Amino acid sequence: MIDVAVPLLIRGEHVANLFSGQFFFEEPDIDFFRERARMHGFNEEEYIKALDKVPIVSEEKVRIAMDFLLSMTQLISDLAVQKVEQTELIEKMGESEKNYKMLFESNPHPMWVYDLETLKFLEVNKAAIKKYGYSREEFLQLTLKDIRPEEDLQKLIENVQQESKSYSFSGEWRHKNKAGDIFFVEIISHEIKYKNRNARLVVANDITFRRLAEVKLMESEERYRNIIEASPVGILIIQNEEVVFVNPGGIKILDAQTSGQLIGKKFRNIMHPENVEKSEIRIQRLLNGEKGLYPVENRYIKVDGEIIEVEVMATLLSYKHEPAIQVIFNDITERKRLREELEQLNDELELKVEQRTAHLEEANRELEAFSYSVSHDLRAPLRHINGYVDLLNARYKEKLDEKAHHYLRTISGASKQMGILIDDLLQYSRTGRAEFTISEVDLNLLLNEVIREIEPILKGRNINWEIQKLPMVFGDYSLIKLVWVNLLDNAVKYTRNQQLAKISVGYKINEKKYVFCVSDNGVGFDMKYAQKLFGVFQRLHSQAEFEGTGIGLANVQRIIHKHFGKVWAEAKPGIGASFYFSLPIMRKEIK
């Protein structure tokens, strides 16, 4: 009895067997099978009966059947492999399409697929929708022509016809968005099959910023070139110790006929030998990356050998993609000569100023001594005049008529005014000769002291005082007090015609100085006479209107000048006046 089994192999791997069933090649030996039944304990009759059902098949027929079974198993195997491969292919295609869509949609650059025949958009990604401003639905109704300026359409058609079937870089193009704004893109494309259509996959890169930068760079280079060409100063570019560029200004300053006389020349041969070492050290420092080197004076040698003085500024730059030094220089030979002459004149002038200052100081000392002497010498005759007036009044009062008494009153009044004038002259003289002692002065205490001293002239007056809290200052206490006495006395005097006088005292800080102000609502004055205010014996009102000698403000100016300050006034007739003076904030400013 024979069994036939055919193995089933898929891709070389045994996965199953195909069985044909049992059969005989010839008539079976019944006795043999009876003996086998008895040996194994089978029912002999049933066993023989079953044996009758086993077919007898010729060997040739079995061989034919075996070939058939082998062919069938091969077919089954091939079909199975094909099915597996088809399934795997479908899975791979699905995965590939998924990856493609993901890459397409998530690409930051605008991408689209267009029909080669109609130029219509077949697919666009999110970046394209955002960049061009169309919705996906709107985009798929457009063609390439709709995103190009009209004047570029012919060029577009020519480019589409000439593009190869594979990868293509089609250069830079102008595109427009839905709003009509023009921008520049760089296009890369590749021909593909898309849904059974001949199509092209396009990637667009926005290069507008780069193009603008390139335009600005070209404009900058053009401006730089124009500046260099038009500049009257000389400009050299030094590379590897040689001159590789010179502008027209440099050619003129170095007295060359053409740039060829300088280009290729060793830079050290243009410099004066005494300046070579220092210049080369500076150049090396620049090449090493040091910045902030200031201009220096140097000496260059012109083509004809003449030595000129130059002012030089050097900077590091790139020339033809290699480090180089740009040297900017200007001929200062004449300027330096004039500067030396000016320095000499300044020295001479300073000497003359010192001499004249010494003469002036001597003259002032003599004048002050004279004023002091005269003031003292005038007191004796003045006392005699007053004494004789008193004697006449005492002895001949009853004998003199009214006219004689008027003469005596006039003499007495003039003598009194002369006495005041002599006192003021002495004060003015003392101010010039007084020792100058600097200390810290509390102006608030000083001002209260001054107001108490002038209290006698305040009786019967209605005055509204506005006094700001004042700072501590540095100066001579007695002299500063005299300034406040004069200014407040004047404010009280020139407001006496007002029913309600207003006098204010304040200050502000201006740079490194305190600026003080005494203002009133008195008679004021015309500003065209303001320059007379601070001169000795200069008055803007008559003695009959307002008493005074015209020395008080002169004293104020002298004192403030000794403190390295300034004094000035502002006023309007009938409105009032404001007197200002400044004092240094810092003690060191009072020399």
CA distance 286 to 284: 5
Q: Which pLDDT value is given to residue 440?
A: 92
Q: Which ranges of 434-535 does DSSP label H, i.e. alpha helix?
A: 443-453, 477-493
Do 357 and 459 lie in one domain? The reply is no
Identify whether 228 is part of a domain. no
Identify whether 47 is part of a domain. yes
Instruction: Find, among 532, 545, 535, the residue nearest to 494 by Cα.
Output: 545
Rounded to whole angstroms, what are the CA distances from 361 to 205, 350, 371, 426, 534?
A: 84, 16, 15, 18, 20
Token pair belonging to 100: 């493609």
Share of the chain above pLDDT 90, in %: 33
Q: Which pLDDT value is given to residue 89?
A: 61
What total of structural domains would you count in the chain? 5
Do 304 and 358 lie in one domain? The reply is no
Contact predicate 51/35, CB 8 Å: no
Confidence tier at 80 by pLDDT (50, 70, 90)? low
486-497 CB burial, b ≥16 within 10 A, e <16: bbbbbbbbbbee
Range with lowest mean pLDDT among 53-67, 178-192, 454-468: 53-67
Q: Which pLDDT value is given to residue 370?
A: 66
Please give the mean pLDDT across all residues of the chain.
Answer: 82
CATH code, domain with 298: 3.30.450.20
Q: Which pLDDT value is given to residue 432?
A: 60
CATH code, domain with 563: 3.30.565.10
Do 360 and 466 lie in one domain? The reply is no
Q: Which pLDDT value is given to residue 35?
A: 78
Tens digit of each residue's pLDDT (9 = 90 or more) over 268-305: 999 999 999 988 888 888 888 887 667 889 999 999 99
- Radius of gyration of the chain, Cα coordinates, nearest whole angstrom: 59
Identify whether 227 is part of a domain. no
Of 506 and 102, which is predicted with more confidence?
506
Q: Which pLDDT value is given to residue 270?
A: 93
Do 59 and 135 lie in one domain? The reply is no
Tens digit of each residue's pLDDT (9 = 90 or more) over 342-362: 999 998 898 988 888 888 777
Of 589 and 18, which is predicted with more confidence?
589
Q: Spell out the residues 6+ positions from residue 303 whose beta carbon is closer than 8 angstroms to its own.
A: 254, 255, 256, 257, 261, 262
Q: How much is the average pLDDT of 121-134?
A: 94
Which residue's structure tokens are 């205490």? 445
With a cut of 90, say whether residue 484 has pLDDT above it. Answer: yes
Q: Which pLDDT value is given to residue 454?
A: 85
Q: Which pLDDT value is given to residue 50?
A: 73
Identify whether 477 is part of a domain. yes
Q: Which pLDDT value is given to residue 37?
A: 76
Q: How much is the average pLDDT of 50-66?
A: 70
Q: How much is the average pLDDT of 558-578?
A: 90
Share of the chain above pLDDT 70, in %: 77
Q: Which pLDDT value is given to residue 118?
A: 92
Identify whether 418 is part of a domain. no
Domain hosting residue 544, numbered range: 435-589
Strands (E), 177-292: 182-194, 197-206, 234-239, 242-246
Domain boundary among 311, 331, 351: 331
With a cut of 60, say whether residue 176 has pLDDT above it. Answer: yes
Q: How much is the average pLDDT of 408-426?
A: 70
Do 300 and 360 lie in one domain? The reply is no
Q: Which pLDDT value is given to residue 525?
A: 85
Q: How much is the average pLDDT of 476-486?
A: 88
Do 383 and 471 lie in one domain? The reply is no
CA 479 to the chain's CA centroid: 50
With a cut of 70, say whether residue 367 has pLDDT above it. Answer: no
Q: Which pLDDT value is given to residue 526?
A: 80
Q: How many CA atoms lie within 13 A of 135 on its CB side?
A: 2
Of 481 and 292, which is predicted with more confidence?
481
Do 441 and 571 lie in one domain? The reply is yes
Domain boundary among 266, 298, 331: 331
Identify whether 79 is part of a domain. yes
Kindly report the length of the chain.
591
Q: Which pLDDT value is given to residue 138?
A: 95
Q: Which pLDDT value is given to residue 16?
A: 62
Do 174 and 318 lie in one domain? The reply is no
Do 386 and 270 lie in one domain? The reply is no
Domain boundary among 284, 301, 331: 331
Identify whether 421 is part of a domain. no
Do 295 and 343 lie in one domain? The reply is no
Of 21 and 254, which is predicted with more confidence?
254
Identify whether 430 is part of a domain. no
Q: Which pLDDT value is given to residue 15?
A: 60
Do 123 and 208 lie in one domain? The reply is yes
Do 260 and 370 lie in one domain? The reply is no
Name the most confidently modeled range: 12-16, 89-93, 120-124, 541-545.
Answer: 120-124
With a cut of 80, say whether residue 312 has pLDDT above it. Answer: yes
